């Protein structure tokens, strides 16, 4: 996970936390990873989460959407459906939908949608390799 620590003078300070932290957080939530497919799904969810956060921080094609860091820090992983091979990457802050889809005053920034388009083939290839389908 990329965690925005602060912004100052046009600079963004971030901490990058990896898959091990995600796995520890899942274990703390009593969500156990039992198969290689589940582990790869978590790795890919972590990749997508980091890419969305990098997009919000202005390190991808989309306009920067960092003021306080609340939006970037709110991007989270929901692995409650891991056993059904599903993980959600989401933000529950109010401004997320306005930044993603735009308003009458701001154009859409599409941090989630554009990230999906950018990393989809990589995620598919990662899953195929993990499942020995390539």
| pLDDT of res. 134 | 59
- SS3 at position 90: strand
| pLDDT of res. 7 | 55
| pLDDT of res. 122 | 95
The 10 Å Cβ neighbour count of residue 39 is 14
Taking only the tens place, the pLDDT of each residue in 88-132 is 999 999 999 999 999 999 999 999 999 999 999 999 999 999 888
Q: Please provide residue 14's backbone torsions phi and psi, each rounded to the nearest 5 degrees.
A: -130, 155
Is the predicted pLDDT of residue 37 greater than 60, yes or no?
yes
What pTM was computed for the model? 0.81
Q: Band the pLDDT of 29: cuts 50, 70, 90.
A: confident
Report, as an integer, the average pLDDT of 13-18: 61
């Amino acid at each position: 996970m990329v965690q925005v620590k602060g912004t100052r003078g046009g600079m963004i300070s971030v901490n990058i936390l990896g898959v091990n932290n995600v796995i520890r957080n899942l274990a703390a939530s009593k969500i156990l990873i039992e198969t290689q497919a589940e582990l790869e799904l978590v790795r890919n969810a972590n990749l997508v989460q980091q890419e969305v956060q990098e997009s919000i921080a202005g390190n991808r094609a989309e306009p920067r959407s960092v003021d306080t860091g609340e939006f970037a820090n709110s991007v989270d992983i929901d692995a409650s459906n891991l056993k059904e091979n599903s993980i959600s990457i989401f933000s529950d802050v109010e401004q997320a939908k306005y930044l993603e889809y735009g308003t009458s005053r701001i154009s859409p920034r599409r941090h989630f949608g554009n990230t999906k388009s950018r990393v989809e083939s990589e995620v598919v290839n990662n899953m195929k390799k993990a499942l020995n389908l390539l």
